Amino acid sequence: MPTKLQPIKTPVFLIVLVLCIMSCREQINAPTSHKFWDTNLSIDERVIDLILQLTIDEKISMLDYHSVAIERLGIPEYNWWNEALHGVARAGMATVFPQPIGLAATFDPQLIHTIADVIATEGRAKYNAARALDNTGQYMGLTYWSPNINIFRDPRWGRGQETFGEDPFLTAELGKAFVNGLQGSNPDYLKAAACAKHYVVHSGPEELRHVFNAEPPIKDFIETYLPAFEALVTQSNVAGVMCAYNRTYNSPCCGSPYLLKDILRNDWGFKGYLVSDCWALIDFHETHKVTANATESAALALNNTVNLNCGIVYRESLKSAVEQNLVSEEDIDSALATLLTVRFRLGLLDPYGKGPYDNIKPNVLNCEQHQKLAYQSALKSIVLLKNRNNTLPLSPNIKKIGVSGPMATNAEVLLGNYHGISKNLITMLEGVANVVNPGTMLQYRQGCLIDQPTKNPLNYAFSEFGNMDANIVVVGISGLLEGEEGESLLSETKGDRFDLKLPQSQIDFITTLRAQSDKPLVLVLTAGSPVILAEAEEAADAILLAWYPGEQGGQAVADIIFGKESPSGRLPISFPKSVDQLPDYHDYSMVDRTYRYATYDFLYPFGFGLYYTQFKYHNLVVEPIEMNLNQNAKVKVSITNTGNRKADEVVQLYLSNLNSKQRVPFQSLIGFKRISIDAGKTVQVEFDIAANNFETVFDNGSKAIEPGKFKVSIGGSSPVERSTQLGIAEPLSAIMTLKVNN
């Protein structure tokens, strides 16, 4: 059990607020001039004025995710629950970008920032339109419960598709970019409010998320699970944090003094709002059994600084908690002050028209510019996993081509989960039809079902497609087979995938089609998590991993297949060869998990992705090769595109501690840059390595920098042997010596 840290230090503003309210309690029912509407006052002054005028029942009602109107004060109803995982979700027309696991494959923080800014723009447009309709319902607000920055520690987790992958550094960098883009740069107003979820150790099993107790070694907790949350809080000032359903170290995540007070509030200085995952407080007494009833559950959450309840426990039980002296009205004032600060920063309690975003119109929704951004993000996300004998790209002037597979016309696989609605969904078949020559004979048959054998003994696909010049088979999984508890309708395991294989019906179709023809067979794979292809991998000449690529996914896939664009995505997760390689799913230790700690061989490793050219790394320089703690090292490398076409490379920098007696990662990503290089050209890339990159987390949770030798590796994938086996040039490396003392 982690050692408890120092008590939370109450922010000065909240101390002043409570003292003011205590001294002015008799003024609550007095006539007021509604000073809180005055935008010339500071937000602190406006918050205090508003709280002074509220009854305790009104205050409690405003701690509920569905905050009811306070009509006598002109306070409108507000619903805090909104989603924007990869586009404004669940509220109608919006641009649908690739699922976050696909966005992670871009390794492009600037792109993520731009996408999040567009999401905020479309969110403002929807909010303004909804306000004109007096529509204050769920999914119409500006408080988005995104991004999901949990670590995708185990490929069986159905919600891993919502994350930025398995690496804490990559997750932190992309998460910061998302928050910065969504919240904007206006010093006085938030464009939208981001929320980092699910704090903190939360990544399956889905079926057990309401009862599970995660107990990772404290080393893994600090080294792997915390860093992305810390980065979003301390570097991007994320407006909100959502605590998870499960327990961690025996305490519910939404009622843990260690997680919420000691670490989040005290150590990191988080001043934003804490929201429970939806109906998580009910789990306190019904499944975790740490409280006797809803009243005690409400008190446990509020006393541990949970400001907002997504659920009904605060609404129904917080008043009785006050009456039983389990919480004080001052505690309620403190929680509400944080929430009101967010609402004021969003301009939700300003006279309409005064805010900088009040004039954003609905014509921005899914506009042409945003569709182009969706296309570019899909292009950058698609990963070329295999390209035997340079099968790809195909010529658009091919004479006969077949498109088949259960995902070829399936618009569902473009969307992922937590998505909006677009009128511009381009399926894989439509994308191919848009690209090939009008004189090409293009045929389509579904060929097989998603996850069960066909019933009809006759299948025209085999006789038709055996004579094609090439076959494109679009296979994979969808939200029917993986996702959140309750959403995956074909899943018997509530969205998790305990067998990572491609469904046998699809494997059988691919291998049978292969037996009919020796012409190029191109697989397009849709998924939000690793898929073990088994015999289908050998049968295929080329494999493109499309993820759930968003509304323009079909066009992006087709443009890559036919060479209009080059593939440039890189894996943010590693693919095992077999589920038997994986540790116990219920074990939150990082031993033998992810590319950082796995001792087994991968099918496809972290950071991997092929291209239609070749890159040569040369002239690696590390300065100084011996460094002290008060120095930064600089890494320089030259990269030449030795092929005949322009392409993007994702340059990846890894560090390995060679001398530690601790359990340390075999390698850790510490830097990456996406660059575009013209054919035949050379560019130089530089990275800075700060002393804190050499920090070791010890078994007791302490941190220190150990002197000794470190290996720096730089290349186009993680520095594992499997990458070179699959066609990536061996990374360049150098040995550095770190001296703690001068």
| Catalytic residue positions, numbered | 277, 482
> Which residue from 473, 498, 457 is spatially nearest to 584, judged by alpha carbons?
498
- Between CA 568 and CA 717 the distance in angstroms is 12
- On whether the CB atoms of residues 60 and 332 are closer than 8 A, the answer is yes
Q: 390: buried, middle or exposed (CB in 10 Å: 19+, 13-18, 0-12)?
A: exposed
Give 588-600 as a DSSP string.
Answer: ---TT-HHHH--S
Give 534-571 as a DSSP string.
Answer: THHHHH-SEEEE--S--TTHHHHHHHHHTTSS------
- Between CA 378 and CA 358 the distance in angstroms is 30
671: enclosing H helix or E strand: strand 668-677
> Which residue from 448, 497, 495 is spatially nearest to 474, judged by alpha carbons?
448
- Between CA 74 and CA 650 the distance in angstroms is 53
> Which residue from 236, 609, 195, 552 is spatially nearest to 374, judged by alpha carbons?
552
- Between CA 360 and CA 342 the distance in angstroms is 20
Peptide bond into 200 cis (omega under 30): yes
Across the chain, which distance is largest between two alpha carbons, in Å?
Answer: 87
- Between CA 475 and CA 510 the distance in angstroms is 9
Q: How many CB atoms lie within 10 A of CB 727?
A: 16
User: Buried (b) or exposed (e) across 513-531, using 16+ Cβ within 10 A?
Assistant: bbebbebbbbbbbbbbbbb
Half-sphere exposure of 204 (CA within 13 A, CB side): 27
The 3-state DSSP class for residue 228 equals helix
CA distances, 606 to each of 66, 328, 344 (Å): 41, 50, 42
Q: Which tokens go with 39?
A: 């935008």
Residue with the two structure tokens 């107790």 = 213
Q: Which tokens go with 735?
A: 């040995």
Half-sphere exposure of 280 (CA within 13 A, CB side): 28
> Which residue from 126, 92, 142 is spatially nearest to 360, judged by alpha carbons?
126
Give 653-691 as a DSSP string.
Answer: EEEEESS-SS---S-EEEEEEEEEE-TT-EEEEEEEE-G
> Which residue from 554, 547, 375, 550 is spatially nearest to 472, judged by alpha carbons?
554
Residue with the two structure tokens 């909104």 = 82
Q: Which tokens go with 329?
A: 């009205």
- On whether the CB atoms of residues 34 and 73 are closer than 8 A, the answer is yes
